[in-house]
Structure formats: structure tokens, C-alpha cells
Structure 1
Amino acid sequence: MEYQFRPIGKKCAATGEDLAPGSLCHSVLVERNGELVRLDYSEQGWTGPPEGALGVWKCVVPTPAEVRHEPLDTNALMRCFEQLTEEASPAREGLRYILALLLVKKRRLRLDGSRADGDLEYLQLAGAQGEGAYEVRDLNPSDEDVQQWQRELNVYLASEWNPGSEAA
């Protein structure tokens, strides 16, 4: 089952003040009148999760430029992944890793297992529509690495990769 709730709000649920871009935000899911409601709190307004909280997490308030990106359909993202796989550029290994995880989350790729090669671990993936086997090195990234690669992937998708082109 997939749950839907709104993206990060603009105001602190406790103080009513604007959530500053780049600041740490505490987010909480609560049930109200049978619906999931997201509440966002600034550091100053955070006193801990309210009673009955169903989920609690921290995030960074996005800057206005990061707020909205045109979503690409999963088939377009898959073509982009295949293109990165063909390029096999070590400089884009992080992008490929993040894109692979995104496609697994969107159920366009599935994780079939993993294999070790010395000190390295590889994720073994297959396309949900029968595309061939793929291996992506498990980079075990830090949170900072993930955020950096996500930013790079957004730039790559927006500027270098043409979603209208078909993979050969």
C-alpha cells in the first residue's frame, strides 16, 4: 500500500513562522479525522513528536530552485539508466547508483541479489519489463554523497540528457 501526503510545508506547525530554505525541518505524520496529515516544524518550534505520531523524520527545507522538477516517466528514467550503463563513466557512477535506487523504488528495476568481488559489492538488477541483467556497484554512500548525487542527477536530467531520444 502506498500512502500519499503533501510535500513539505512553508510554515512551522508550532510557531507559524516561515521554514527557511536550507534549514533543518522535523516532519511528522499524524492521523486526523481518518486522514494522514503532515506537520512540519522548525528547529525552534520542535519539542518532540506529538502524541499518536505515526512517523517522524528530519529533512532539509529545499531552496525554491529545488522545489519543483518536471517528473520524468519511469520508462524515460530507464532509458537514461541504460545510457549511463552504456557510457560506463566512473565519473557518473554515483548518478547511476542513485538512478538505479530510484528505479527500484519505482518498481521499474528489481533487485535480484548481490555479489561480492573482493572488497566490492555489486547490486544485481533486472528490468521489470524483461530488460537484461545489470550490475551496479554498491557505493554505501554517506547522506551527503546521496544529496550531492541527487543534485547532480537533477542537473544531468535537465541539461545533458534528452528525454525525447530513444535508446538504441
Structure 2
Amino acid sequence: MLDFDVKRCSRRCASTNAELSPGDRYYSVLVAEGAEVVRRDYSRDAWQGPPEGSLGWWKSQMPDEGAAKPKLAPSEVALELFDRWRDQPGQEDSVYVLALFLVRKRVFRFAETAFPVAQTGEETLRMFCPARAAEYDVPVVEVDNQRADEIQAQLIELLYSDAS
């Protein structure tokens, strides 16, 4: 199993070195540099898409000063959403993004068994959920930027609430 130590946002644009201010939207990308995984943050204006060979990327917004931190729903709620979406046709891209989110939140891990290739020839990720002692095969789906933003907004709406 691969485990990465991803650093927090640098609060500076990797391209321009400009400070990211409260409320600014920015992009983060993970790239492999030798044996390390490095995070780079880019202002919206400097973002030109993920670099070739990047491991992953996401869009975020710098928190406003004094804003209440959003509170994530309990892991079981996210797992129930995962189960529900897996059973719904046409939700493959949402299931894939949610599975990666669950890895990021340490609810899922990449299973130690090999990533299988389904009989249809599609690539899948094998995920392990320690809380359920269960493995899941999640088809790898290419998600374009617009759809990724839509799924992210849906996850925020479903899984986060303002802290009281």
C-alpha cells in the first residue's frame, strides 16, 4: 500500500509566488518528484491545467478570515452515500470521486491485493474499508473539469455542514 504525506496548502502560488488571499479560489496538484510526492498550489489565474504525469489535482477556496470551519459528516454517512451511488446506474464518475475522497479522509485504503482489470477490460481500483472489513472494486472513470466541480459541490452539500 502506498501512503503519501501531503502537506497543507502553501498559501502561495507555485507559479507567481503571489499570496493566496481569503476567498481566493486556487488549484492544488500532486506530482511525483523522485520518491516524494509534492503538492503545488496555483492561483486561479496561473492555473493551466494539471501537468503531464500528475497524480491528482483538485480545486479549493481559501477560507475567509474568521469563517466557521465546515464540519464533515461521520464516516458512516459517507459510506452509506457510497453504497447508494454504487447501486445507481450512471453514477460511476461520482462513485469514483467519492472513493478517492474516502481514501483522502482515511476511511478507505488502497487494498494490498493487485488492482484488477474487469472482464470488460476496464481498469478498477481495489479499495479496503477497515471499518467494514470489506473490499470494493471501483471502476476508474475519467472525469472532466466541469463534472469534477459538479461532483465536488454535491459532496460538499451532502457531507459538510457549517460548524456551530
User: What TM-score does the superposition give when structure 2 sets the normalisation length?
Assistant: 0.52
Q: 1:73 to 1:7 in 2, by over 3 A?
A: farther
Letter in 2 for 1:120: E
1:145 aligns with 2:147: yes
Count of aligned residue pairs for this structure pair = 130
Report the Cα offset of residue 110 of structure 1. 2.0
Identity, % of aligned positions: 19
Aligned residue for 1:129, secondary structure, equals coil
Aligned residue for 1:120, secondary structure, equals coil
Q: 1:99 to 1:39 in 2, by over 3 A?
A: closer
Q: Confirm or deny: 8 A CA contact 1:8 1:61 kept in the other structure.
A: no
Give 2:91's aligned residue: 92
Instruction: Give structure 1 stretches of 5+ with no counterpart.
Output: 28-37, 45-57, 160-168
Kindly report which structure 2 residues correspond to 1:1-168, keeping only aligned pairs within 5 A, or say none: 2=5, 5=8, 14=18, 43=45, 62=61, 69-85=70-86, 88-112=87-111, 113-157=115-159
Q: Confirm or deny: 8 A CA contact 2:117 2:124 kept in the other structure.
A: yes
More helix by share: 1
Q: Rg: which structure is higher? A: 1
Aligned residue for 1:134, secondary structure, equals strand
Structure 1 distance, partners of 2:78, 2:92, is 16
Q: 1:21 to 1:156 in 2, by over 3 A?
A: same
Aligned residue for 2:118, secondary structure, equals strand
Report the Cα offset of residue 97 of structure 1. 1.3
Q: 1:76 to 1:120 in 2, by over 3 A?
A: same
Report the Cα offset of residue 145 of structure 1. 2.8
Larger RCO (alpha carbons 8 Å, 6+ apart): 2
Q: 1:70 to 1:129 in 2, by over 3 A?
A: closer
